Amino acid sequence: MFAKLRSARPLLVALGLALSSLAGIAPSTAAAEIPYLQLNTAEPKYAAIVIDANSGEVLYDKRADSPRYPASVTKIMTLYLAFEALSEGRMKPTDRVVISPRAAAQAPTKLGLPAGDSLSVDEAIRAITVKSANDVAVALAEKLGGSEQRFAALMTLRGQELGMRNSRFVNASGLPDSRQISTARDLAILSRATMRDFPQYYSYFSIKGFTFRGNYVRGHNRLLDSMDGFDGLKTGYTNASGYNLAGSAVRDGRRLIAVVLGGSSTAWRDNNMEDLLLTGFEVMKRRSRGDRTTIAANLYEDEPTGAVMRPSVEQGDGEQSGLQIVLTDKPRPAPVKVSPTLKAAQAKANKPKGDWSVQVGAFQSKGLATKQLSIVRGRFAKFVADAEGAVEGAAGGAFRAQFQGLTAEAARSACSAITAKRQPCMVLSPR
């Protein structure tokens, strides 16, 4: 069946382009079979799903069919159609992609090439997967579809073919548009289809950075560095969507796919993705031993609360480099509430030996700062077991997560161990 669909795709491409050309406005025609989806603003933004990449079995879902803004995770579909064109010989990696005035005018995140400039298809794909370049996504869409509108029509049609029943695309980048809607389930279906249909191109999603015209372009997907077995796929961010991520990892010969939508920060999103995948692998392992269990039964579910913290000016992936949270290698425990009474009790019980401190993050939310203390204490107990955890308010409304009551030697040793794991830590001398 799938082979028949693949053989019919060139005809579908031509049909889609013809229909969109006749209609004049491609998105509305292409989406005619899909009900117009409205977001329920009262519902939490967070949605997630975990599936077995081999079988497609859903191992966990949370509002997986609720409509959400996909943001730059949209670009997986843009790349799916690009990979399709490459595999069918309609495009070559060395072909040139020209930056039109419309592409050059796209909002950041972008590569920033001027109108009339060009780059190879291979470079374009790298710019999209690594930089999440909106300008390049539009230029590639124009190359493949003639216009971004016509290409978006093809995106919606291909999504329907793949089983994405609740998705509608109107642009190739994921830049804000209230008409562009998907769901966690649909994005998991798309992710699985991409690695299944074009395994020869999947490695593009694991690129951490690339050199373009003498400059090194670093990627946004930090889990590629911090989580063993994690190899893609795509981050995304807009103010309306929150922080999104479609990810996949392999452990012990098993591959899982997870989608996290509506995170309140890059750090929260990345932690949640890792927790979902690691818990999923543990569940798969226990199932192989005959244990009947689920991800939900083993996961500490902690949804983001409130608005997106420190919104980025860039619509694409949105950096929040100051909001790093230590990534765990097991489901994280419930956060410890650091009240004044508890502080006093800890100080009395631990008998601090010094007046040095270490700071392990500054956050827009006291809850996140408190959670950071719990995570760091759990992972680096050897170094901070005798320290007092404290959340200190700071100018500008930030909350600083600190371990206090350390000697100078203990503070430096703790920070050395924490930073060795590529996590933020700063030694604070006595005032």
Catalytic residues: 72, 75, 132
CB–CB of 246/185 below 8 Å?
no
Q: Residue 78's closest CA among 256, 233, 215?
A: 233
Q: Cα angle at 32 between 29 and 35, to 5 degrees? A: 145
Beta strands 242-251 and 230-238 are: antiparallel
Q: Which residues contact 234 (CB under 8 A, 6 or more apart)?
A: 72, 73, 75, 76, 129, 132, 205, 221, 245, 246
> How far is 107 from 139, CA to CA, in rounded Å?
13
Yes or no: say if 68 and 241 are a contact pair by the CB < 8 Å rule: yes
